[in-house]
Amino acid sequence: MLGDLSDLDLRFLRVFLAVADAGGVSSAQWTLNVGQSTISTQLAILETRLGYRLCERGRGGFRLTAKGERFAELARGLLGTIADFNAEARNLDKKLVGSLRIGMIGNTPLSQNARVSEAIARFRQRDEAVKLIVRVCPPIELEEGLLRGDLDVAIGYFWHRAPTLQFTPLFTEQHLAYCGKDHPLFHRAGRISPNEAADHSWAWRTYPLPEAQMSASPRRVTAVADNMEAVAMLVLSGHHLGFLPRHFSSPLVVEGLLAALNPEIMHYEVTLHVVSRRRSDDSEITRAFLDDLYAIHREAPPAS
């Protein structure tokens, strides 16, 4: 069995991952710049050290065993941790060293994404060696990630106000009620009354939307989704009505695939927030990024 890791073991791990990524020994020889026999020998040594087979290789082709797939995950995690250690050790003279985990709701306006990019650019001008980890996920996952400590900063729509979190308004986006081109209301879209629309099938969000409920009170919610891409798919089917962000839907309206039911009446606005743990609990890295993000939004003109 594999005992304490040595430099040679780490090399064998890298060889194994190169073979797994290449899909076979012959393909990996160009990546590793060594011959097939050498690679096969190194894999055999690693398997002997472990006491089980990592992959099947031969005339039947190449494939990882079940243990090989799990071992590959572990090996990637280990080598990633070593890479992070090396990066941080080389940069300990920097003022900010570590990682920053940012969560974002999907399909925010391009203008707002550009401002986040500008904040990252400003942050990178600091005396720092920080690894940025960016995730895009539904609102509920953003909040849970913050509460669990899996995220440091989140930008999105939040309907709860957990006392351990700090909420700062960042920007507002408008949502309109839409139908697809194959929906029976499409050719009269623009002047549909909320009462008439309420009798049709709607696609609704899985999380609370009090702003939407004030704009429309559908009596038939026949589909739910946790993100706007899924709602758009349902609306485009021609069988559901649904609210979507105006900026997200505009290209589909231009293509003639969507139409707003009644923009003057059936609309609502949502304020998106940047959220982190309470200031006293934030790391120095998080505070620095938030300062840069707020500064960019103060300097930028209002979103159109």
Q: Are 79 and 17 in contact (CB under 8 A)?
A: yes
| Nearest 10 degrees: Cα torsion 180, 186, 189, 193 | -90
Pairing state of beta strands 267-277 and 153-156?
antiparallel
Q: Which residue has the higher pLDDT, 258 or 10?
A: 258
d(CA 195, CA 200): 10
Q: How confident is the model at residue 303 (pLDDT cuts 50, 70, 90)?
A: very low
CA-closest candidate to residue 142, choices 119, 169, 160:
160
Cα→Cα distances 132→99, 118, 129, 151, 154, Å:
6, 14, 10, 11, 13
Domains along the sequence of the chain with CATH: 7-90 (1.10.10.10), 96-170+271-299 (3.40.190.10), 172-270 (3.40.190.10)
Question: Which residues have CB under 8 Å from 174's CB, separation 6+?
Answer: 245, 246, 267, 268, 269
Q: What is the pLDDT of residues 152-206, one digit of tens each?
A: 999 988 877 778 888 888 888 889 999 999 999 999 999 999 999 989 999 988 7
pLDDT at 96: 84
How far is 166 from 161, CA to CA, in rounded Å?
A: 8
pLDDT in tens, 111-122: 666 788 899 999
Cα separation, 199 vs 185, whole angstroms? 12
Q: What is the pTM of this model?
A: 0.59
